Amino acid sequence: MSKDWNKRTKLVHEGIRRSQYGELAEALFLTQGFIYPSAEAAEARFVETGPDEFIYARYGNPTTRMFEDRMAAIEGTEDAFACASGMAAINGALSCLVKSGDHIVAARQMFGSCLHVLKILGGFGVEVTLIDGTDLDAWRAAMRPNTKVCFFESVSNPGLEVIDMKSVSDIAHAGGALVVVDNAFASPIFSRAVELGVDIVCYSTTKHIDGGGRVLGGVVCGSRAYIRGPLEMFVKHTGGAMSPFHAWVMLNGLQTLDLRVRAQAANAATVASAVAGHPKLARTIYPGLMDHPQHALAIEQMGAGGTMVAFDLKGGKEAAFRFLNALRIVSISNNLGDAKSIATHPATTTHKNLSQEERALIGITDGMVRMSLGIEDGADLVADVRAALDAA
Ligand SMILES: *Cc1c(COP(=O)(O)O)cnc(C)c1O
C-alpha cells in the first residue's frame, strides 16, 4: 500500500488482502488450518512460509494478518503481531526479551495486571526495579549493565501521569536496553511513540481499537526482526495468538478509530474544563488542562489531552459512590476507549488488589473516579456529570 497515505486513509485501506471474489469488505477467514496442494508443498511451507501462505491460526491467518499489517502501517513500525488480549501482548513483548539474571526497569504507575506480569518474571529470576516513571533521574539511577528493558505506560492508568517517551528512550538506549511502551490510553491516534524513540509499542485493542466493548485483543508493534523473531516465537508457541474473528472485529474498529477517538478526546476536554473547580471536586486530572503537571509534555507527545479524565471527589469513597450512582448516561463499568462513556472506581475495582500504601504511591485515592469519555453529545455529558457531582 502507499507509504505516503495519511493515517486516516491507512485506517480504512491498509493491509487489505482480497480473495478471488474481490470482496469490498475485509473477509473473515474463520479457519484454523490451510490445505496444501501436495505433501511436498506442506513440507516446503514448514521450511519457509511465503508472504501469502499460512499454516495454522495460532501462527497466523489472513484476517489476522490484515489487522497486523494495518496496525504496523498506522503505528509506523515494520511489523506487528496480534495477540489474544492486551495482557497476552504485554506478557509476550516483555517475556521474549528477558531471561533469568536480566533486569527490567519499569514505572510503578501501572495497570495491576502489568505489575503482576513483572512479579511472575521476578519469580523466574528476572530482576525488576519499579520507579516513579515521571522522574528521569530515577530512570538514570535504576539502569544497570544487565538492564534489557525499560517498560512503562505512556499515560498511566488511572492517574493519567504522562511519561516522557523521548527522554526515557534516550536513557534506555544509552544503557543498551530496549523500550517497551503500553500505549493503551494514548491510542494509535495520539501516538508518536516510534518517532520519539520507543522500540516496541503494545496496545490492548480491547479498548479504543474495538471501540464497542465487544471482544478482547492486543497487538505488539516493532521491527520485523523482533516481531517475526523472538516475539512471534514466544506468542505462537505459548498460545497467545488473536482469534481471526476478533481480528475481523478490530479491522472494523480501525476504520472509525480516528473519528471516534477525536470525538472522545473533544468530549473529555469539554467535560474536564466544564466541571473543573466544582465544589465537590478536590481535583480534576486531565492532561489537556493547563494545571496538569505534564500538560506541555502531553500536548507535545499526543497533540491532545486524550480520552480519559480522573476526578478526585472530596468525601472519599462515599462521595465517589454517590457520584457514580447518580450518573445516567455514563455507565459504571471497567472498559475504556469505548463509544459509550464509562466510569470506574479504581480503589474498589481495578486496583483493589493493591494495598492502601501502594495505591497512595500511584495517586489513587478513595475519592478517585476514572472516566472514559465516549462519543455521545458533549453537552449531554457535561449535564450528566455536573448533575451527578451536585448529587455527590
Ligand atoms: C486494559 C489494559 C490492559 C490489558 O488489556 P486486556 O485487553 O484487558 O488484556 C493493559 N494495559 C492497560 C493500560 C490497559 O488499560
For residue 325, what is the enclosing H or E element?
A: helix 316-326
121 C-alpha to ligand 1 centroid (Å): 18
> Is pLDDT above 80 for 109?
yes
- How high is the pLDDT of residue 305? 98
- How high is the pLDDT of residue 354? 85
- How high is the pLDDT of residue 2? 64
Q: How far apart are CA 167 and CA 175, in angstroms?
A: 13
Percent of the chain predicted with pLDDT > 70: 99
Give the least confident one: 229-233, 350-354, 362-366, 383-387.
350-354
Q: How far apart are CA 89 and CA 241, in angstroms?
A: 9
Please give the average per-residue pLDDT across 60-83, as a whole number.
98
Ligand 1 atom 13: residue of nearest CA: 184
Is 89 touching ligand 1 by the criterion CB < 6 Å?
no
Is 338 touching ligand 1 by the criterion CB < 6 Å?
no
- How high is the pLDDT of residue 112? 86
pLDDT band, very low/low/confident/very high, at 313 (cuts 50, 70, 90): very high
- How high is the pLDDT of residue 353? 85
pLDDT band, very low/low/confident/very high, at 1 (cuts 50, 70, 90): low
Is 204 touching ligand 1 by the criterion CB < 6 Å?
yes
Q: How far apart are CA 187 and CA 178, in angstroms?
A: 21
CB atoms < 10 A from the CB of 152, how many? 27
- What is the atom index within ligand 1 of the atom nearest the CA of 217? 7
**Grid coordinates in use for 260?**
471516534
- What is the atom index within ligand 1 of the atom nearest the CA of 89? 9
Tens digits of residue pLDDT in 342-371: 999 999 998 888 888 888 888 899 999 999
Report DSSP state, residue 110. Answer: -
- How high is the pLDDT of residue 186? 97
CB burial string 260-271: b at 16+ within 10 A, e below? bbbbbbbbbbeb
Q: How far apart are CA 291 and CA 126, in angstroms?
A: 38
The answer to whether 339 touches 348, Cβ cutoff 8 Å, is no
Is 85 touching ligand 1 by the criterion CB < 6 Å?
yes
- How high is the pLDDT of residue 136? 98
Tens digits of residue pLDDT in 149-207: 999 999 999 999 999 999 999 999 999 999 999 999 999 999 999 999 999 999 999 99
Is 83 touching ligand 1 by the criterion CB < 6 Å?
no
The answer to whether 327 touches 340, Cβ cutoff 8 Å, is no
Ligand 1 atom 8: residue of nearest CA: 86
- What is the atom index within ligand 1 of the atom nearest the CA of 205? 7
Please give the average per-residue pLDDT across 290-302, as a whole number.
97
Residues whose CB is less than 8 angstroms from the CB of residue 24 and which lie 6 or more positions away in sequence, other chains included: none
Give 35: exposed, middle or buried? Use CB within 10 Å, 0-12, 13-18, 19+: exposed
216 C-alpha to ligand 1 centroid (Å): 9
pTM value?
Answer: 0.97
> Is pLDDT above 70 for 310?
yes
Which of 90, 44, 48, 29 lies closest to 243, judged by CA? 29
> Is pLDDT above 80 for 30?
yes
Give 345: exposed, middle or buried? Use CB within 10 Å, 0-12, 13-18, 19+: buried
> Is pLDDT above 70 for 22?
yes
Q: Which amino acid is at 357?
A: E
**Grid coordinates in use for 11?**
485506517
pLDDT band, very low/low/confident/very high, at 111 (cuts 50, 70, 90): confident
**Grid coordinates in use for 100?**
533469568
Is 216 touching ligand 1 by the criterion CB < 6 Å?
yes
> How far from 208 is each of 23, 168, 260, 339, CA to CA, in Å?
26, 25, 8, 8
- How high is the pLDDT of residue 251? 98
- In order of start, what are the domains of the chain with their CATH numbers? 7-255 (3.40.640.10), 258-391 (3.90.1150.10)
Q: How far apart are CA 236 and CA 59, in angstroms?
A: 5
How confident is the prediction for the chain on average, in pLDDT? 96
- What is the atom index within ligand 1 of the atom nearest the CA of 87? 9
